[in-house]
Each structure stands twice: as C-alpha cells, then as structure tokens.
Chain A
C-alpha cells in the first residue's frame, strides 16, 4: 500500500484549476478506483462520468498524466506514484464540470455521414448472404466503444479546432465501416473529401496509439479511405481507367455470387 498524490482538474466551462488530493493506493486499483476513493474521502462534489468499469462503455475518458486514457483501464501499477498523477478532462471538448465533458458534437457529426444503404436482398428469404472474408475487415471497426479518445488526441480537433471541417478519426472509422461493407451501395467519397475533411488528417497515428480497443485506425481505416479518395479525385490514370472500364458500385451482385462461398445470413 502506498500514498499517491493526484492533481485533479476542478472547474467548469468558465474555468478552473488543479487541486491536489492524496489517497491510498492498493493492489489492483485503476485510476477510476482512485478517483472514486477521492470522491468518497475528500471531494464529494467531484464530477466524473463512468459506467461499466470494464473498458466497454467509453464513459470514463480523461487525460491521465497528459495522455488520453480510459480511467477504468489504466492500472495504478503502471503509473509512477512518486510524482503527482495528473487527471484532466479530455481537452478537445468543452468541460461540463470537473472531469466530465460535453461530447455531443460527436453525435451531431455522426448524423452528417451518409447512412448504410444495402443493396436489395439477394436471397429468397429476403435477406443477404455475405462471405466472411468480405466482412473481416470491417469487423475491426465495429469494436469502437465511442470513448472519443481518438477525437481528443487528434491535433486537428484538439489544437486547431477544425470541428466544422473535419469529422475526426472516430467518424472516419465509422465511414470506413460503412464504405467497406460488402452490402453497402452508398457513395461517400465526395463527402469525405469535401465535407468531412479527410485531407486534414496528416497521419500522426496518435488516434491509433490511444485507442483502448486497439483498432488500427490510421492504417486500416483512414489511409484506405484516403487511397479511395485519391483514386476518385487525384489519380488521372484511374480516372481514365474508370472511364474506359469502370462500373459504378453494383446495386445488385451477380446472381452467381450468392451462395457461392461460405456465407453468413444477414437480416
């Protein structure tokens, strides 16, 4: 057992300050446990958002020693408690109170992305057949818990506040999950280029580093989307090839495809 000092940011949208709190650290504790202990012992009015304590709800996002992390997944034995441990709200979004931020901007952004538009059902029972290898890639993106740590660490949002021009890594992952889906027929590339600002991403991979679900955001979602945008808008050879041989996204797959592979029923 040891004593740790926490510098916790206290305040609201108008401003605030760091306050120091001391608490006992026991084996197996995570940062969220320590925050709760401080809340019980010496700061009953400390606001902190949390829910599952299992790294699956994405509620307890904060900055621990300057790095965006889920407090419930940050073990105290990974932190040097000889120095004060800094805990701050995520900085990319407005503070509501103490460690709680207003992340509602993200939900508004999500509405701007064109929805999933599946092709017409190709099976007799009115459903689809999808080969597993076709959905392997997008299943990684479905792990996202929307903790918005990637949004927080992205310097385009965090430092440059391009909230009107750039949707951030979380929603590029969302767009990738839709755009790479084998059933989807919607075209989002023009939006990605013009409205969603994919060009603002300069591939620092900070989003990938902080993702608690270990989604390879930059390499598997953002760069493939950048390449798709390059295909469409920046590659003259591809333009020519598309004009000569290209097809638009198929509204319906060839009949032979249905049932041709080991498949999954999608309803």
Chain B
C-alpha cells in the first residue's frame, strides 16, 4: 500500500537536489585544485628568485618565468641575477621603485588569461567557485543570471587571443627544454646531457602542448569554421588532430596545470641542489 511523505517535487535553494551520489566531490576537488595552484603560483611569482638553476652546469628555467624579459635583482646584494635567459638584460632602471618587480609578473598574465578563459575551466570554475550551478541538477544560491551574454563574462570571448599568445609561449618553453639538454662543464664547453630536470621541462612542454593544441578555439580556427572539409583536406586533417586532443581537453588541462607547477617546484629545488644526471 502506498504511504505519503511531504517532500515537494520542485525544490529550490542552494544545494537542493534529489541526487543521492556525492555530487559535491568534483566541484570541491576543482575548488581545491585551482585554489592551490593560484596560491602557489602567486607565491612563486612574488619570489623573483630561484627561478633558474645553473648548478653543475645545468640550464634550467622555471616555466612561471619563461620567457624572461628582464632578470630580477638579488634581494640581498641588489645585483641583477643572471639567468642567461633574459631577452632584454637586467631589471630596467625605469621600473618604479614602489612597485615590486618579478619577471613572472610580466608574463604570467598570458597563461593565466588562457586558462581563465578556457572553455573547460570556465565550466569547471563556474561550478566550483560560483556554484552556478554547484553541480548538474543541484539548486543554485542566486536567482539572477546573466551568463556570458553580457558584461563582465562576455569578455570570455577573448579566449582566442590568449590562445595566440599561448602558442608563442610553447616555442619559448620548447627552447627552454632544448637548453635543458645542454650542460656546461668546467672548461665552459656545452655538452649534450639529460638530467631529471631535462625530463621535467620536456614533459612540461608535452603536457602544455597537448592542452594548448586541443583548445576549442584552435579547433574552430583551424577548420571548425568550415562546412566543406572536402575542399580543404589538409585543414580537415589538422581539424581531426585538434579534435582528437580536444576530446581529452580536461585531462590535458589538469595534467599540464599540475606539471607546470611541479616544474617550478623542481627548478626551485635545483636552485640550491644537484640534479640527478641520467646522461
């Protein structure tokens, strides 16, 4: 015989749902993962030190600082650090004294903007940080909703411009990985070698490439805008390659995020420790 309960069918309010699974786990992990990365990368950017390692002839550069436009000054001696990677030399004299200087400040906006406007991260952080919605079929805290239809979130359409810069960064990071394969001996001669740092920096390029080259905007720009793929077979092949990476865009996004952070940690560690040489 049926029995009656009083639960309403239509629910409203933050977190209301009939879901019985642990729907809050994914947004919570996303929140913790992204928050941890933001806190660490901000701390690392403010250090303006230990962003490269020349110990034992190695030539490693943290991806948080690449490309280095100007080297930072040593906070104790006041002398310019010499990473060997600075495109324009030491910290410029015109830099206002009241502003802290870090080479990372000058470049981190680009990868940060690329990830902030990334279609995957947008969906993830709207859920994890804005609870908009907290998860699928779970009630929201706010009644009003503008989406990406008007300011401020309409700015997310700028994503493709960050993509262009991110692709440029891949070249810089690839060059850094290449330089990590050369070790200077006591006589000043550069010899080919592979250290753990070389592998770490190379994997960083690998993961970032998988993430960047699977971008939704790239997928569109490389061929998605067309309706006649048969007229452009090379574009079609490129589109299929990008689409292949795009299918695992979330995985690439997290792998590359973790690894770029780890690479910075490792280079900081090597700034004062010896790397393990494999070759």
Which residues from chain A sit less than 8 Å from chain B, CB to CB?
7, 9, 11, 15-21, 42-43, 63, 65-68, 80, 83, 86, 88-89, 91, 95, 131, 133-134, 136-137, 153, 155-156, 158-160, 162, 165, 180-182, 184, 197, 199-206, 209-210, 218-219, 223-224, 226-228, 230-231, 234-235, 253, 257, 260-261
B216 touches A66 (CB 8 A): no
| A-B CB proximity, top 3 nearest | A199-B149, A66-B18, A66-B19
Taking a contact as CB atoms closer than 8 A, the residue among A80, A153, A156 that contacts B137 in the complex is A153
Residue of chain B at shortest CB distance from A227: B220
> With a CB–CB cut-off of 8 A, which chain B residues contact A17?
4-9
A7 to B8, CA, bound (A): 11
Expressed in whole angstroms, the minimum distance between the Cβ of A267 and any Cβ of chain B is: 19
B145 touches A200 (CB 8 A): yes
- List CB contacts (< 8 Å) of B123-160 with chain A: 123, 126-127, 132-133, 136-137, 139-140, 143-145, 147-150, 153-154, 157-160
B2 contacts the other chain (Cβ, under 8 Å)? yes
B133 touches A199 (CB 8 A): no
> With a CB–CB cut-off of 8 A, which chain A residues contact B153?
202
A224 to B222, CA, bound (A): 12
Majority DSSP secondary structure for residues of B touching A:
loop
- List CB contacts (< 8 Å) of B203-246 with chain A: 216-217, 219-221, 224-225, 227-231, 236, 246
B123 touches A202 (CB 8 A): yes
Expressed in whole angstroms, the minimum distance between the Cβ of A96 and any Cβ of chain B is: 13
What sequence of 0s and 1s flags, for each residue 7-31 of chain B, a beta carbon within 8 Å of any chain A beta carbon? 1111010000111110000000000
Expressed in whole angstroms, the minimum distance between the Cβ of A233 and any Cβ of chain B is: 8
B93 contacts the other chain (Cβ, under 8 Å)? no
Residue of chain A at shortest CB distance from B136: A206
A202 touches B225 (CB 8 A): no
Taking a contact as CB atoms closer than 8 A, the residue among B143, B228, B231, B246 that contacts A160 in the complex is B143
Residue of chain A at shortest CB distance from B1: A42
Taking a contact as CB atoms closer than 8 A, the residue among B5, B221, B247 that contacts A20 in the complex is B5
Majority DSSP secondary structure for residues of A touching B:
mixed
A202 touches B18 (CB 8 A): no
B119 contacts the other chain (Cβ, under 8 Å)? yes
Q: Give me 16 other A-B pairs in contact (C-beta within 8 A), A67-B137, A206-B136 excluded.
A: A11-B9, A15-B8, A18-B4, A20-B2, A65-B18, A66-B137, A67-B19, A88-B18, A134-B227, A159-B145, A202-B122, A203-B119, A227-B216, A228-B220, A230-B159, A231-B225
Known A-B contacts A66-B17, A155-B132; the reply to A204 vs B127 at CB < 8 A is yes
B3 contacts the other chain (Cβ, under 8 Å)? yes
A203 touches B18 (CB 8 A): no
A175 to B225, CA, bound (A): 14
> With a CB–CB cut-off of 8 A, which chain A residues contact B1?
42
B230 touches A227 (CB 8 A): no
B216 touches A91 (CB 8 A): no
A230 touches B157 (CB 8 A): yes
A202 to B122, CA, bound (A): 7
Expressed in whole angstroms, the minimum distance between the Cβ of A235 and any Cβ of chain B is: 7
A91 to B19, CA, bound (A): 13
B20 touches A83 (CB 8 A): yes
B9 touches A88 (CB 8 A): yes
A137 to B144, CA, bound (A): 35
Known A-B contacts A202-B122, A203-B122, A219-B216; the reply to A257 vs B231 at CB < 8 A is yes
A83 to B149, CA, bound (A): 41
> With a CB–CB cut-off of 8 A, which chain B residues contact A159?
12, 133, 139-140, 145
Known A-B contacts A63-B137, A223-B119; the reply to A202 vs B9 at CB < 8 A is no
Expressed in whole angstroms, the minimum distance between the Cβ of B118 and any Cβ of chain A is: 10
> With a CB–CB cut-off of 8 A, which chain A residues contact B137?
63, 66-68, 153, 158, 206
Residue of chain B at shortest CB distance from A160: B145
Known A-B contacts A134-B227, A219-B216; the reply to A19 vs B4 at CB < 8 A is yes
B9 touches A184 (CB 8 A): no
> With a CB–CB cut-off of 8 A, which chain B residues contact A11?
9
A202 touches B132 (CB 8 A): yes
A201 to B4, CA, bound (A): 38
A227 touches B2 (CB 8 A): no
Known A-B contacts A66-B18, A200-B145, A205-B123; the reply to A184 vs B227 at CB < 8 A is yes
A89 touches B20 (CB 8 A): no
Residue of chain A at shortest CB distance from B159: A230
> With a CB–CB cut-off of 8 A, which chain A residues contact B158?
234
Interface centre among B12, B123, B158 (most CB of A within 10 A): B123
Residue of chain A at shortest CB distance from B230: A131
Residue of chain A at shortest CB distance from B231: A257
A202 to B159, CA, bound (A): 14
Cβ contacts A to B, 6 pairs, < 8 Å: A160-B145, A199-B154, A202-B123, A202-B126, A202-B153, A224-B224
